[in-house]
Amino acid sequence: MVKIVTDSTCDLPPDLARQLDIAVLPMTINMEGRSYYDGVDITRTEYYQRLPALKTLPTTAASGAEEFETVYRRLGESEIVSIHIGSGLSGVLNMAKVGAEASGQRVTLVDSQQASMGMGWQVIVAAETAAAGGSLQSVLDAVASAQKRARLLALLDTLEYLRRGGRASAMTAALSNLLQIKLIIEVSNNKVFPLARTHTHGRGMDKLVEIVEGLAPLERLAVLHAANPAGAQVLAQRLGHCLSPTAPSPLIVTDVTAIIGTHAGPGALGIAIVRAESPASA
């Protein structure tokens, strides 16, 4: 039996992770002199409520190598597939590698090259394949297929948090806020890059819908938010028709981890999809 391990940046709803028997290691959030386990010591709702008032942005860290080692040892003699946030976005994979070597277990590490549910869908596909009795290779093949077809997009309500995190200049953030510019970004191949700009939140939503409709039909679809559940529900209603009638998973609406929300800022919305396989590639 193949067992699946991941970290909390995958943004899987906890009930789904338990249902699919996925081991999820929490990220650590360092905030105002204290450390919290993401989703354990502090909920994401609480985190986003506190974020705007903080003078210094929180930092995040991967679980320690010893925590990965403990999980790998607990899974015993199973083949283990451990899927993590892109190596260009975080050092989680390095910690997992050290833990795997120390555990002596049969662990195959996978760089998702993604974050949030762009990674989460890969984890779900792996768990579903394993639950169906798939071999290690069939699990890895299923993940590789999903990874090639995955896209992760986000609409930022403000650039202020990118500025505070050192990812945008003060002038850029000030001008963007003054002109009400909303930025759509994409995470792909371990990088984050701008995809489009609009002048209002409503037009940003329209553009996001337009992009996703152009990628339909979809095999998997998740709508993501940072303290914006109402906006996420509106987006889900507008995009539900893009999901293929034969899709193996229903549409998921979930909040995003602190590692993403810290830079995206409260109010951000996102889309994580896996495009349906074309007949030529099926």
User: What HEC string does the chain produce?
Assistant: CEEEEEEHHHCCCHHHHHHCCEEEECCEEEECCEEEEECCCECHHHHHHHHHHCCCCCEEECCCHHHHHHHHHHCCCCEEEEEECCCCCCCHHHHHHHHHHHHCCCEEEEECCCCHHHHHHHHHHHHHHHHCCCCHHHHHHHHHHHHHHEEEEEEECCCHHHHHCCCCCHHHHHHHHHCCCEEEEEEECCEEEEEEEECCHHHHHHHHHHHHHCCCCEEEEEEEECCCHHHHHHHHHHHHHHECCCCCCCCEEEECCHHHHHHHCCCCEEEEEEECCCCCCC
Ranking 2-16, 106-120, 254-268 by mean pLDDT, the lowest is 254-268
Residue 281 lies in a domain: no
- Domain shared by 170 and 233, yes or no: yes
Q: Which residue range is the domain that position 117 belongs to?
A: 2-148
Q: Is 169's pLDDT higher than 80?
A: no
Question: Which of residues 148, 177, 201 is at a domain's end?
Answer: 148
Joined tokens for residue 155: 């609409």
Indicate the pLDDT class of residue 180, thresholds 50, 70 and 90.
Answer: low
Please report, for the domain that includes residue 236, its CATH number.
Answer: 3.30.1180.10
Question: Which of residues 98, 118, 148 is at a domain's end?
Answer: 148
pTM exceeds cut of 0.95: no
Q: Is 167's pLDDT higher than 60?
A: no
Please report, for the domain that includes residue 89, its CATH number.
Answer: 3.40.50.10170
Joined tokens for residue 103: 């555990």
* Over residues 156-175, mean pLDDT: 48
CA distances from 82 to 25, 61, 163, 239 (A): 11, 18, 33, 31
Task: Tell me the β-bridge partners of 42.
Answer: 38
- Domain shared by 128 and 67, yes or no: yes
The pLDDT, as a whole number, for residue 204 is 92
Indicate the pLDDT class of residue 178, thresholds 50, 70 and 90.
Answer: very low
Residue 280 lies in a domain: no
Half-sphere exposure for 217 (CA within 13 Å, toward CB): 11
Half-sphere exposure for 72 (CA within 13 Å, toward CB): 26
Domain count, the chain: 2
Half-sphere exposure for 258 (CA within 13 Å, toward CB): 30
**66-110 pLDDT per residue, tens:** 999 999 999 988 899 999 999 988 889 999 999 999 999 999 999
Residue 282 lies in a domain: no
C-alpha Rg value of the chain to the nearest Å? 18
| Separation of alpha carbons 214 and 61, rounded Å | 36
| Separation of alpha carbons 197 and 185, rounded Å | 9
Residue 121 lies in a domain: yes
Residue 14, preceding peptide bond in cis (omega within 30° of 0):
no
Question: Which of residues 107, 125, 148 is at a domain's end?
Answer: 148
Task: Tell me the β-bridge partners of 192.
Answer: 187
